[in-house]
Structures are given as structure tokens and as C-alpha cells.
Amino acid sequence: MVKKATKKATKKATKKVTKKVTKKAPAKKSTKKAVKKVTKKATVKKVAKKATKKAPAKKVTKKVATKKAPAKKVAPAKSAPVKAAPAVLAVGSAAPDFKLLNQDGKEVQLSSLKGQYVVVYFYPRAMTPGCTVQACGLRDAQLDLKNHGIVVLGLSPDKPEALKKFQENDHLNFDLLSDLDHSVAAAYGSWGTKQFMGKVFDGILRQSYLLDKEGKVLHVITKVDTKTHAQDVLKFYQSL
């Protein structure tokens, strides 16, 4: 009986000790690792949430930057400088002398025509509509012009070959002179800025200089009417 009681007491004591030891025993390594991972994840999430709350949204940053950024100053567009109109020869001044090739390739010099009235007229281009009307009017009035001792010289930047064709096509009976580099036109104030079909360019200004027998300017026609040009010239000389 004593032995049985002793065994029971020993078993109870062993169980109590085992329970105490089990409670105090540390967790297995695998369990510790799992706990660490979970803890880390939880910590990362908390930190991310705090950072998200504190960090400003990108869109807001852009808007704020746009509001604060000063607007760039746009420089005003510079308008093209306006060219001054070429100076027209004054009445009473001596007409600049020149020597140019005519439609036949022969030289014609203005000073060699002293003793006669001379009409020096500038036109833009041979065989164009307005220039043809003007030239044909002078052609038809040649007899009257000669009777008044008036010589006609037409100047343009065309080559002599083009002038020859112009003369032959329209049976012109006066000299057409080739002012290729428009230097004579410039000297007479008949080269400058023009506007046509919305385009601005430099070219011949349609003008006529009516000279006396000494080569001085008697009259300048700056606004030429191509249809009545010949008659306008005649009327002026007839009025002297």
C-alpha cells in the first residue's frame, strides 16, 4: 500500500514539474522567425501609412508650383522697319546723265539729246499688260510727239533681247533702254518698295520725267495712268 501511494505521489509531482517546465520553455526557432516576419510587415505598413499621410500628392505639388511660378515675359514682336520712299528729282534740277544699251544693243546717252525735249519713263517689265498699254499709247502718239520735238526713252530692268522682242511684237517706234542693275532708276528715285497681291518687294516705280532742252526736270508724273500717259505728256508740253 505504501508503494502504491508513493508511486501516485511521484506521478503527480512529475506532472506539475512538467507543466511548469512547458510553460517556461522558450518557443521553437521556427516560431520565433514567423513572429519576427509578421512584426516586420506590421511595422512596414504602419510606416508606409504615416509616410503617405505626410507626403503631399503629386497633383497638388504641380498646382502649387504653377500658381507660384512667375509668368514668363513675352517680348513684343518687332515690326519690320518701314523704308522711306525714294526721293523724286526736284523740278528745276539737272537730270542724272546715263548711257545704256537699247533694244538693238546700241548705246544711248541722255546728254547727247540736248536741244530736244526728252521723256524718260520707267516701267516695271516688258510685255506685261500695263506696260504694253502705256508703250502702245506712246507709239500711237509718236507723230505728235515728234512735231513738238519730244524724244521718248523707256527704261526697265529687262535685257536688250527682251526689249527687242517687245519692240517687234508691238511695233514700238522709240528706244527701249536696258537698266539691268536698276542703277539709273535708283538715281531718279524710281526704285523702291512696292506691294502687289499681298507681297512686299523692291522694284521699279512707274514714273515719268519730262525734261527740257537743257536736260533739266520740267515735270514729274508719279502717278501714271497707263491709258492716258501719252496724252498727259503732250498736254504738258503744249502748255509751255
User: What is the tens place of the pLDDT at every residue in 68-90?
Assistant: 556 666 555 554 454 566 789 99
Q: How far is CA 165 from CA 26, 60, 126, 142, 178, in A?
A: 121, 77, 9, 20, 13
Higher pLDDT, 132 or 10: 132
Is residue 151 within 8 Å of residue 121, measured between CB atoms?
no
**232 has a pLDDT exceeding 50:** yes
pLDDT of residue 34: 45
pLDDT of residue 68: 57
User: What is the tens place of the pLDDT at every residue in 22-73?
Assistant: 444 444 444 445 445 544 554 445 544 554 454 454 554 444 444 555 666 6
* Most confident by average pLDDT, 15-24, 31-40, 147-156: 147-156
Among residues 89, 120, 131, 152, the one annotated as catalytic is 131
Domain chopping of the chain, boundaries: 99-238
**10 has a pLDDT exceeding 70:** no
Pick the CATH number of 99-238 from 3.40.30.10, 3.30.2040.10, 3.90.1150.10, 3.10.450.50: 3.40.30.10
Q: What is the band of 141 on the pLDDT scale with cuts at 50, 70, 90?
A: very high
Per-position DSSP letters for the chain, written without gaps between them: -HHHHHHHHHHHHHHHHHHHHHHHSPPPHHHHHHHHHHHHHHHHHHHHHHHHHHSPPHHHHHHHHHHHSPPPPPPPPPPPPPPPPPPPPPTTSBPPP-EEEETTS-EEEGGGGTTSEEEEEE-S-TTSHHHHHHHHHHHHTHHHHHHTTEEEEEEES--HHHHHHHHHHHT--SEEEE-TT-HHHHHTT-EEEEEETTEEEEEE--EEEEE-TTSBEEEEESS--TTTHHHHHHHHHHT-
pTM exceeding the 0.75 threshold for the entire prediction: no
Q: How far is CA 135 from CA 9, 52, 62, 130, 225, in A?
A: 150, 89, 72, 9, 12
Residue 136 designated active-site:
no
Q: What is the band of 115 on the pLDDT scale with cuts at 50, 70, 90?
A: very high
